[in-house]
Structure formats: structure tokens, C-alpha cells
């Protein structure tokens, strides 16, 4: 083993039917470092993590762990835990209806009897030492998501882990919460814990990590010190090509001023839904890309959901080309030519067990009607066409969508709505949790569709993505529309100021 290393992997191989997920991958984690594991979706990050945590068994290769003679065998998550490898997943896997302390100690007591008082005291001690703002006796559900995430980490830490794996822990946290989490990670680092950090946010990698290991197509690209690897290079290493795509896009947008004069396709007045947003006005012109921005929970999604009829509309009118239309449920919106790609792909988007083909034709089929099924041959033709068009990576059109990677799932959902040939396409966080390559693909596609006359609303938590794609931004704060930015005003600081309500020095 190398000096200081707590975990070393050599020549790890793992295959699934039809895919070589890992091919001879090496990985080294040192004591007291935060090590980012980067790669596009399908690069093998998750597989590698699952090999380390015992969810999958490696086919080949050796794992060394500090304090153990020779190689270690990890056959199950229990083995991994016993060896001091702890994992905190993207989705919180604790029990919200138990207390914080119970969550920290569940499944760990060896005796039949439980000393509740001592357990709570111990828990409080750990929480205090990690500076986590929660009480042991508090019900977990009453904590914010970030604190729940931290409790999950506290649980891992208390199990005296040497290796802590954080798999996309920040994807549901806001900036403030992310900072708290980073604080905790730095504390642990000082205590000598080796942390593997998986994330899609490049900013976060550069903020908190010491080293980066990049994977691509199941192979190791390399291990780098953070200072030696500028952002652009990281991205190009992940994609395996020189990246000038991002700057390309920008050039395309700027010459689109004439959309200002195009007619308004959809207009809403005083629209309000039961999801708790204040009544808002809204319009979109033909061939325009606009966006909703604001902090997490500001009501961005709720606005577009109201337009699509996804939440119950309780007030206001919607006009299409100047004529009032009634949209009270999704099918009404679809009939008016509105398509909506929902924020939560897993919950609202994919129909997991159905094939890619069925997932692609679903919306178009519903629109055609109950008594006019699309024939199997036609469905295959359409599916293949869109698989080609969007470059969806799937074994076949019959593959269940749930076995695709996140980015490809998102493309399937996108194909579903494009197949409907909508006049107005709403994309709510289409790029969340997917790889950089697909992000760029989607942004390009949005601009292409708009240039062909489709109106698009694009929502993203990454402001620079919005700045690149949108020609007009609706800014929201506290479930209310507080401003609109276009042209010159479209800058990071412009958005910040509007979100903060002009009191940017506050």
C-alpha cells in the first residue's frame, strides 16, 4: 500500500450483461483527504462505489484497507460497514418518524436491552462535536434536509469509519445547507477520515476536494491534484474530447433579438394553483426561450406546474393565441400543445418497468386517444427514430427504462414530449443529476427547437445554464414573481439583485 493510503483498489473488473462497467480500475484514497470521483453517467462511478460498499462483488482485482493484512474481501454492505467503510446516499435512507438518536443507533445495539438515556446522551455528544444543529430526542422529520443528511453522516462517523463515501449528498440542498455540510466534511478530514465525494457540481469539487479521480467508460482516466487540473480540463477529461461546445452555444443565442416582436403564444393572467404560489402573470412568445429562476422553494416549479395543470388551478385565465382556453388537468394542456418535463424524473417522469419504446410513445399515445393505439411496428419506428435523434444509449427499444443511466432516461422523457410536437415545451430542471455531455446536448437542443419556432421554458438551478439558454428570465422569491430580466440585465449579479429584492448588501 502507498503511504498514508486508507483504501487502495487495484485492477478492479466488473461486468454486467452486455456492458463492461469497470475495466482494470485503480483507486487510492489517502488519510484525511476529500477525494472527488468524477465521470459522466455510465462512466462507472456508481459501480465502483458499489464494489467498495459490497453491493456488487468485483470479478477481479484486489482491495487493500489500512489496518488489514493483505487484501480484504467485501461480500456485503455489512462487511463493508464492519471494515469501517460507511456510505451516505443521495436519497436519505433514515427513518423520518424516529428520533435523531434512534436513527443514529438503529441496528447497532448488540444487547436486547437499550439504555435510552445513555443513547441520547451519546448522540448529543456526537452532534455537538460535529456541530450539527439537532437534538438527539428530536424527530428526524422535523429537521431540514441538510440536517438529516448530516445525521446520516454522524451515524457513519460514529461507527468509527475510516472511509466515508458521500454519493451526491448535495443534490437536494440549498447553498447555505451545502456550506454547512462542507464544514462538517472539513472537520472529518482533520480527524483523518478519508472521504470519497461524488457530485455533479463542479463548483463544489473545486471548493472542497483535494484530489480528483476521473473515470470514463469504465476505465480510469487518471488521478489528479486539484491544483493541477483546471475546470475546463476536468470537463474535457470526463467527456474525452476537447470542450469548446459550451462557448459555441453562447454565440448562437445573442443574435435572437427579433423574438421580442413575435406574437405571444401563451398568456396567463392571475394564475394560481393549490400548491401555494401567489397569483402570477405570464406570457411566452413564439420561438422564445424563457426561464424561471429563484432560490430553492421559491415557487419556480409550482408556476410551470400551474400552467400545465399538474397542480389544481384555483384561479386565473390562460390564453392561447389570444383566445381563452381552459386547462384544469395535464391532458387539457397537452391538447393545447403544451408539454411538460417534470422536475423529479424518477417520481413524475419515467414509468420504470415499461420499455424505452413505451415510455417514448406514452404522451403521444394518450393524445391520440384510447381507441387509437399506435401499432407496434409504428411504435418501434418512432422509438428508433428518437433514439437516433437524441443519441439515447440503450441496448434496444425494448429495454426497461429503469435500467438506463439518468441522462439517458431524461433523453427518453424528452423524446416522449418531442414526439408530441408541442408548440410550447416546459423543461423543469432537465439537466439535474445528469452528466455534462448530456447537459450540453439538452441546452443545444433547446436552442435548436426555439429557432424552429417552438416556445420553451427552461428551468435550472444552475444560473449559468439559464443565462446561456434563456433570452428572458422570470425571477421568483417566496412563491411570488418579483421581476423579469432580459437583454442587458441578464447577468449573474442582475439575477442576484432581483432575487434579493434590491437589498443586495443585506
Partner 1 sequence: MSKGKGTFNKQLLIPIAALVALALFNLIKDPSFFKIALGENSAGDPVLSGYLITILDYGSELAILAIGMTLVTAASGGQDISVGAAIAIAGSVILRVLCGTNSRPEELQAPVIVAFLVACLVAMLFGAFNGILVAYFKIQPMVATLILFTAGRSIAAWINNNELPIISEPSFGYYGGYIPGVPIPTPFFIAMICVVVIMLVLKFTTLGLYTQAVGINGSSSRLNGINPQFIKFLTFVILGLCVAVAGLIKVSRLSTINYSVIAKDIEMDAILAVALGGNSLSGGKFNMTASILGAYVIQFLTTTLYKMNVQSDALSAYKAVVVIILVVLSTPIVRKKLSQLGAMILPKKKEA
Shortest distance in whole angstroms from residue 57 CB to partner 1: 12
> Is residue 105 near partner 1 by the rule CB under 8 A?
no
Q: How many CB atoms lie within 10 A of CB 108?
A: 11
Rounded distance between C-alpha atoms, residue 302 and residue 304, angstroms = 6
Shortest distance in whole angstroms from residue 327 CB to partner 1: 12
Using CB under 8 A, which of the segments 71-79, 356-364, 449-457, 484-492 binds partner 1? 356-364
DSSP letter, residue 373: P
- The number of C-alpha atoms within 13 Å of 67 and in the hemisphere containing its C-beta is 9
In the complex with partner 1, the residue whose CB is nearer, 101 or 364, is 364
Using CB under 8 A, which of the segments 57-65, 117-125, 367-375, 486-494 binds partner 1? 367-375
Q: Which residue has the cell 491544483?
A: 227
> Is residue 210 near partner 1 by the rule CB under 8 A?
no
360 and 383 in contact (C-beta within 8 Å)?
yes
Site for partner 1 in 216-245 (CB under 8 A): none
In the complex with partner 1, the residue whose CB is nearer, 5 or 374, is 374
> Is residue 482 near partner 1 by the rule CB under 8 A?
no
Beta-strand runs (E) in 321-471? 323-325, 338-341, 424-428, 455-459
Interior angle at CA 306, CA 304 and CA 311, nearest 5: 120
Among 5, 249, 295, 351, binds partner 1 (CB under 8 A): 351
Q: How many CB atoms lie within 10 A of CB 187?
A: 14
> Is residue 371 near partner 1 by the rule CB under 8 A?
yes
> Is residue 397 near partner 1 by the rule CB under 8 A?
yes
296 and 461 in contact (C-beta within 8 Å)?
yes
Site for partner 1 in 2-41 (CB under 8 A): none
Using CB under 8 A, which of the segments 93-101, 107-115, 390-398, 466-474 binds partner 1? 390-398
Rounded distance between C-alpha atoms, residue 61 and residue 25, angstroms = 9
Site for partner 1 in 280-339 (CB under 8 A): 308, 310, 329-331, 334
> Is residue 276 near partner 1 by the rule CB under 8 A?
no
Radius of gyration of the chain, Cα coordinates, nearest whole angstrom: 24
Site for partner 1 in 416-435 (CB under 8 A): 416
291 and 472 in contact (C-beta within 8 Å)?
yes
Rounded distance between C-alpha atoms, residue 69 and residue 82, angstroms = 15
Give the footprint of partner 1 on this chain (CB under 8 A): 308, 310, 329-331, 334, 340, 342, 347-354, 358, 362-363, 365-367, 369-373, 376, 380, 384, 396-398, 416
Amino acid at each position: 500500500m502507498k503511504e498514508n493510503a486508507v483504501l487502495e483498489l487495484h485492477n478492479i473488473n466488473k461486468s454486467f450483461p452486455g456492458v463492461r462497467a469497470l475495466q482494470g480500475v485503480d483507486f487510492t484514497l489517502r488519510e484525511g483527504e476529500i477525494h472527488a470521483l468524477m465521470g459522466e453517467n455510465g462512466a462507472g462511478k456508481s459501480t465502483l462505489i458499489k464494489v467498495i460498499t459490497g453491493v456488487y462483488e468485483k470479478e477481479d482485482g484486489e482491495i487493500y484497507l489500512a489496518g488489514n493484512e493483505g487484501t480484504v474481501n467485501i461480500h456485503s454492505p455489512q462487511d463493508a460497514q464492519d471494515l469501517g467503510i460507511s456510505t451516505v446516499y443521495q436519497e436519505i435512507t433514515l427513518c423520518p418518524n424516529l428520533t435523531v438518536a434512534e436513527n443514529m443507533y438503529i441496528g447497532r445495539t448488540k444487547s436486547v436491552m437499550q439504555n435510552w438515556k445513555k443513547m441520547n446522551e451519546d448522540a448529543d455528544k456526537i452532534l455537538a462535536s460535529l456541530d450539527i444543529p439537532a437534538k438527539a430526542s428530536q424527530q428526524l422529520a422535523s429537521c431540514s434536509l441538510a440536517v438529516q443528511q448530516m445525521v446520516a453522516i454522524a451515524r457513519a462517523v460514529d461507527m468509527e469509519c475510516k472511509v466515508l463515501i458521500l454519493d451526491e449528498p448535495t443534490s437536494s440542498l440549498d447553498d447555505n445547507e451545502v456550506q454547512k455540510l462542507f464544514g462538517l466534511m472539513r472537520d472529518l478530514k482533520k480527524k483523518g477520515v478519508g472521504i470519497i465525494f461524488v457530485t455533479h457540481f463542479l463548483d463544489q469539487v473545486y471548493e472542497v476536494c483535494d484530489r480528483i479521480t476521473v473515470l470514463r467508460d469504465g476505465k480510469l482516466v487518471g488521478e489528479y491534484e486539484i491544483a493541477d487540473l483546471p475546470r475546463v480540463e476536468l470537463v474535457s477529461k470526463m467527456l474525452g474530447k476537447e470542450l469548446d461546445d459550451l462557448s459555441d452555444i453562447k454565440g448562437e443565442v445573442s443574435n435572437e433579438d427579433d423574438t421580442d416582436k413575435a406574437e405571444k403564444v401563451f398568456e396567463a393572467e392571475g394564475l394560481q394553483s393549490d400548491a401555494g404560489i401567489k397569483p402570477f402573470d405570464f406570457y411566452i412568445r413564439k420561438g422564445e426561450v424563457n426561464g424561471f429562476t429563484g432560490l430553492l422553494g421559491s415557487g419556480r416549479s409550482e408556476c410551470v406546474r400551474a400552467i400545465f395543470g399538474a397542480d389544481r388551478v384555483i384561479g386565473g385565465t390562460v390564453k392561447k393565441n389570444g383566445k381563452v382556453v381552459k386547462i384544469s388537468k395535464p391532458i387539457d394542456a397537452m391538447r393545447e400543445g403544451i408539454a411538460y418535463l417534470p422536475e423529479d424524473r424518477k417520481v413524475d417522469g419515467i414509468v420504470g418497468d415499461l420499455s424505452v419504446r413505451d415510455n417514448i410513445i406514452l404522451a403521444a399515445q394518450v393524445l391520440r386517444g384510447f381507441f387509437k393505439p399506435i401499432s407496434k411496428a409504428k411504435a418501434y419506428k418512432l422509438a428508433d427514430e428518437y433514439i437516433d435523434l437524441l443519441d439515447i444509449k440503450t441496448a434496444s427499444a425494448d429495454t426497461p427504462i429503469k435500467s438506463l443511466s439518468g441522462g439517458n432516461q431524461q433523453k427518453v422523457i424528452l423524446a416522449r414530449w418531442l414526439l408530441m410536437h408541442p408548440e410550447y415545451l416546459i423543461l423543469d430542471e432537465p439537466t439535474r443529476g445528469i452528466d455534462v455531455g448530456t447537459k450540453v446536448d439538452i441546452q443545444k437542443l433547446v436552442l435548436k427547437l426555439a429557432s424552429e419556432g417552438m416556445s420553451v421554458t427552461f428551468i435550472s438551478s444552475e444560473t449559468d445554464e439559464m443565462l446561456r439558454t434563456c433570452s428572458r428570465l422570470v425571477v421568483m422569491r417566496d412563491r411570488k414573481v418579483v421581476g423579469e430580466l432580459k437583454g442587458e440585465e441578464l447577468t449573474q449579479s442582475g439575477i442576484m439583485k432581483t432575487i434579493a429584492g434590491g437589498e443586495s448588501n443585506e
